[in-house]
Structure 1
C-alpha cells in the first residue's frame, strides 16, 4: 500500500492507493471483478459510504466474486446525480454514458421518475458490502455498521446530507427512515463523538420510522464541516446557514 498527496479544491489531502497493478485499467469491462482491484482513494470510499447510508445499495453479484454500487436519485436531484456520475466515470468506476431518466411504478400504482447508475464490479469492495449487509430471514438486509464512525469522513457526511438532508426550522434533518430507532440513535451518538454535533432522533410520522434532527446550536459547526463539499445548488438544505 502506498500513499501520496493530491491537490483538490485548493486543499492538500491524503490519498491511499490499494494494490495497484501498473498494467490494469479498472475501467475495462473485460476485466473480472477479481482483477478490477483498484485504486480506491479515500474520496471514493467516502462517497460510497455516505451514499450507502442513503439511497445507494450494494449488490454482491451472484455469478461473480465482487460488489457493485447501485446509485439512484429522483429527477428532482438530477444535478447532483450527474455530478456523482461524472466523478465516478472519470475515475473508471462506471460507464461514461450518462444515465437516462426512467419510470418506476411502486406500490399502489405510484409513478416515480428516477435515474440509476451502476458501478463496475470490484472484489475489493466486498468489505464495504460485508460492513452494511447481514443475511436475515432468507435475504440480505442493510444495517448501520458498528464501525461507521471510522469511515464517516466530512465528505461521507456531506454526501449523506446532499442525498437525504433538508432544513428543518433553525436546524436540519437527515432522513433515516429505513433504519431502526436503535440504529438512528446510534448514528446520533456517532455524530456527537466524532464531530461534537448534537443530534437526536425524531419521529417521521405514523409507521414512517425516525429521522435525525441536528439541533440549531450545532448548525454552525455542521455547516463548517459539510459545506466545503456541497454543490452550490444544494446550499438551501442548510436553511439559515446557507
Structure 2
C-alpha cells in the first residue's frame, strides 16, 4: 500500500486530479496528450493493481489556439473506491487541492518524485548536456512550494529554487545528474526524453596542466605527485558509473567544505580522459573527482565498495 500512496502523491502533485460531483463518490482521473499514450498505459497498469479503472478513452477537443485547430488526448478514471475517497478528503478538504503535508512526508519516495517529474517536469538539454530541470508548481501556494523544496532537499540533498513563474528550477549540474539517476529506474515508455544516457569520450585527450583545489592540505613533501598517483583511481570511479554503483558508493562522501588548498599539476592523458568522462556523467568538478580519488587512495573507501 505504501507504493500506491507514493504513486498517487506523484500523480496528484502532477497532472492527476480527484473530482467529486454532488451525490457521487470521488473519482480519480488521469489525462495525457496523445503522444504520451504509452505513459498513460503504464500508469493505468500500475494503478490497476490497486483500484478499478475505466478503459483508456480517446478525446479530441476543438482548440483554435493551435495550428491544426484541435488537440488530442487520452484519459481514464477510477470507479467508486474507499482509498480514492480517503485521498479526496485529504487533498481537497475545502473542495480545492491543498497539499496534505504530513501524509506527503510519510509516503513520498523516489517513485513519487519520478511520477511527478514525468507528469509535470521538463529536462532542458543543450549540445547533449543537461542544463536544467523544471518542476511545474504554479498551482500551489508559496508556502506549499517552500514545503516541496524542503521535502526534496531533506530527502535527497537536491536544492531546487523557485523562479519568477513560481516553478521549481534546478541548475546545478551535479544535482541534475543525481536527480536523473534517482528517477531513471521509474521512467515509463515514452518518457525517456526526460533522461540522459551515460556517455564516454572514446578518444584519449591530451595531458593537461590545471589547478586542483582540495578541502584538506596534502600530507606529503611532494603533493602534486601524490595527487597524480591518486588519480589512477579515476578508473575505479569510471567503472562504478558503468556498473551503476557510483551514487550508492561515492556521492554521499563529497564534502560541502570549501576547496581552498590549491595545487598546480600536470594530469596525464589517460587520467584527464577518465576525469572528463566522470564529469560528463555526474556533473562533478575536477576538484571533487580528485578528492574522491584521494579518499580511495587513503583507504577511506575500499576497492570492494
Q: Give the TM-score taking structure 1 as reference length.
A: 0.68
2:101 is the alignment partner of 1:146: yes
Change (3 A) 1:240 1:92: closer
Q: Matched residues in 2 for 1:89 and 1:99: separation?
A: 15
- Provide the aligned C-alpha RMSD in A: 2.7
Q: Is the 8 A contact 2:91 2:100 kept in 1?
A: yes
Residue 61 of structure 1, CA deviation: 4.8
Q: Match for 2:140 among 179, 187, 207?
A: 179
Residue 88 of structure 1, CA deviation: 3.0
Q: Match for 1:189 among 133, 139, 150?
A: 150
Residue 125 of structure 1, CA deviation: 2.6
Larger relative helix fraction? 2
- Counterpart of 1:102 in structure 2 is 60
Q: Deviations over 1:117-153 (max 9, x none)?
A: 1111212333322222132xxxx21122222222211
Within-5 A mapping of 1:84-103: 84-89=43-48, 92-95=51-54, 97-103=55-61
Q: Match for 2:30 among 71, 74, 86?
A: 71
Q: Is the 8 A contact 2:11 2:115 kept in 1?
A: yes
Q: Deviations over 1:166-203 (max 9, x none)?
A: 11352311111211233222211110112221111112
Q: Give the TM-score taking structure 2 as reference length.
A: 0.55
Q: Matched residues in 1 for 2:52 and 2:29: separation?
A: 12
Q: Is the 8 A contact 1:170 1:240 kept in 2?
A: no
Q: Which runs of 5+ in 2 are unaligned?
A: 125-129, 199-280, 282-305
2:111 is the alignment partner of 1:155: yes
Larger relative strand fraction? 1
Aligned residues: 191
